[in-house]
Amino acid sequence: MIQKPTLDFLTALKKNNNRDWFEKNKEKYLAAKKNVEEFTDELIKHISSFDKKIAGLTHKDCVFRIYRDVRFSKDKSPYKTNMGASISAGGKKTMAAGYYVHIDPVESFIAGGMWMPPSDQLKKIRQEIDYNGKKFHKILDDKDFKKQFKKLDDSEEYKLARPPKGYDKDHPDIELLKFNSYIVWHSYKNKEVLSKNFPRELAKGAKTMKPLIDFLNEAIS
């Protein structure tokens, strides 16, 4: 389970995002890192019970580094103020659809799908929706899916204002074809994050989104 000192460390890091403070609090960071790694291993066990493609992964394949790449960013803060893991076939470096867990004292969440896929994969996903729209609608309209995730994230950055090239504005699924990211997410309060049942709750969410993951991976395969 996620321990309170892990959230406390991340809260303090938000206020002290500099190398001097980080080095003075290195032991707290290492403890938080170990906690998230062990938590990720436990979560992988739960998810692999229904998604065999991720069986055999460990936290080393999934947990992201806390150090930020600031080379092309105006924000020169050296550290991320959250801890995350991408759990998908092949681990965090793969381009496959998968599950993502975000631990943050402000807002923790589970997400899944494909975020900003490259153009060749996006083209394949749109083609699959064009060919198998009924199947895609069945996934999105599932009662458990809608209860937990409501709908695909249609934030402005994840959806085109106009139809993508090659699709008519009158296409029956044009609104789904406008997406350039196909993701869903569900957030949790800190009380839930610190619960011993949190890995099982995340796994339930992952199981609910699995048909979406499978649809996207079949599209790009």
Is 176 in contact with 129 (CB distance < 8 Å)?
yes
Return d(Cα 151, Cα 149) in angstroms, integer.
Answer: 6
- The residue range of the domain holding 89 is 4-220
70 pLDDT more than 80: no
107 pLDDT more than 90: yes
pTM, whole model, 2 decimals? Answer: 0.93
Structure tokens at 221: 């395969």
What is the pLDDT of the chain when averaged over all its residues?
95
| 191 Cβ contact partners less than 8 Å away, ≥ 6 residues apart | none
State the total domains in the chain: 1
Which pLDDT tens digit goes with each residue over 134-179?
999 999 999 999 999 999 999 999 999 999 999 999 999 999 999 9
CATH code for position 68: 3.30.930
DSSP per-residue codes, 159-216: B-SSPPTT--TT-TTHHHHTBS-EEEEEEE-HHHHTSTTHHHHHHHHHHHHHHHHHHH
* Mean per-residue pLDDT, 83-92: 92
Return d(Cα 174, Cα 176) in angstroms, integer.
Answer: 5
